[in-house]
Amino acid sequence: MRSNYLLLGCSISLCAVIGIWGVADPQSLQDTAQRIVDQYFVSRGWFVMLSVTIMLLFCLGLVFTRFGDIRLGVDTDRPEYATPTWIAMLFAAGMGVGLLFWAVAEPLTHFAFLEGKISVPEAADAALLATNFNWGIHAWAIYGTTALAIAYFSYRRGTPMLVSAPLKNLFPGETWASVVGWFSDFMAISAIAIGVAGSVAMGVFQVADGLSVLAGAEQSAQWLIWAVFAVMIAAYIPPLMVDLSTGMAKLSNIAMSLAIALVAYTVIMGPTEFLMNSVIGGIGMYVADVIPAGLRTFTFYGDEIGRWFQDWTLTYMVWWIAWGPFVGVFVARISKGRTIREFVLGVLLGPTLFSTIWFGAFGGVGIFETLNGQGTLLAMTQTNVERMTFALLDRLPFATLTTLATVFAAFLFIVTSVVSAAFVLGMFSTGGNQNPSVKIKVVWGCLLGVLGTAMILSGSMQAVRTLIALGALPFVFITVLLLACLIRALLQDTKETDTHAHR
């Protein structure tokens, strides 16, 4: 109990300090974070890429071995959710508002950077490939490994849903395991809080820009950004005062349905033939290059390319690691009864396929416009990335309706993420309590608001991404530790089963 209070106190204190620092002196926090992250990426970038690639190969390997037959639960357990609903919930938890924000902006930003260095067709191909890689199967391998470790130990060995549980279960009574486990929970809380706060800021920017577009304003007024933020807090605080229920899953499914409708609408109403070729070609390039790209660090390409790699791919990999414990617990909770094979295939392939279609469609419209001599969207990569999705929708029929749908989807993604994150943070900081008190959840909700304020005051998405990376750096090593614990448990349990079978 004393350890739980210490964990709660230290976690709240760290998040409060970072939040207050960011509110009082956002530039200082941003500069400090940038220096630390830059140094880490230079010295340990190879470790990040190697780690996430090993996670991916491990998850894929489980599919083709007898470990894939193991059920997450007792052998008679069956899945609680139908597969389509389960995959929709996975996607809403793991990506959410980021896809709405970067739908057009990221592919065109990569294209703008690469254009002039290589031919235009090669730049278009490379831009889509880089985007698909950053949002693809490696991200879901990080989520899948974390979730599988937590789910396996929870459902097969009866441990609480904590990051520390696998280590403490494998090494009971060991002081070093308790210390490392406590630190793992502490860093998981920090990574979740900072990562979700970054997404809150991203969502606020997205919603405010959508409302500005509807009002015909050139850019979002500062008062509007803060008004959206206030409404968002008002929307997520009340749900924290009641039990987490299936209502949150329904909201996530509504947001996901809107996202599916938006991408289908874009393909149908846009240059359909070009977009379908973009989607299929993007999938083909991604499948052909996904494993080699996971081990590529651009060591010999000079500082400019190296910086691009750090600012995008490395930052994204660490970003997904920051969300790993939050998404891991959520995915573990909704995956009881599935076999490891079903789990891995669903977690890795379903969301990855959707994201490649998403960027192939939205990024394809931007590239189509650029190739046909219209550079408006491309120019926006240097001026206002927050508005690029809305600028694209404005080129299609029924722009007001689709803009409203995008704003509403972004709002829902953020509210559901914050409510779920506050619940998970409350659970982590109280020793795995499946029903943390309303007081603890509201405290975490308020702290996420303070951290979100700091992120908004940072003034740019690049600063937000840097702060998220800073919060996740220590957790990079913890994910590797979770992978090692899972491998050891699988081998132990399989050996024990084989021994009983031969008696």
CATH at 353: 1.20.1740
Model confidence pLDDT, tens digit, residues 89-131: 777 666 667 788 888 889 999 999 998 888 989 999 999 999 9
Query: How many C-beta atoms surround the C-beta of residue 428 within 10 A?
Result: 29
63 has a pLDDT exceeding 90: yes
CA angle 468-200-93, nearest 5°? 85
Model confidence pLDDT, tens digit, residues 332-369: 888 889 999 999 999 999 889 999 999 999 999 989 98
63 within some domain: yes
pLDDT of residue 503: 59
Model confidence pLDDT, tens digit, residues 222-268: 778 888 888 877 777 776 666 554 555 666 677 778 888 999 999 99
199 within some domain: yes
Domain holding 72, by residue range, is 2-497
250 within some domain: yes
CA distances from 47 to 99, 297, 467 (A): 26, 10, 20
For residue 311, the 8-state DSSP code is I
503 within some domain: no
CA distances from 64 to 60, 70, 222, 344, 414 (A): 7, 12, 53, 11, 37
CA angle 26-31-33, nearest 5°? 95
Q: Distance of alpha carbon 21 from its chain centroid, rounded?
A: 25
502 within some domain: no
pLDDT of residue 224: 82
145 within some domain: yes
Range of lowest pLDDT (266-275, 370-379, 454-463)? 454-463
Number of domains in the chain: 1
Model confidence pLDDT, tens digit, residues 263-297: 999 999 999 999 999 999 999 999 999 999 999 98
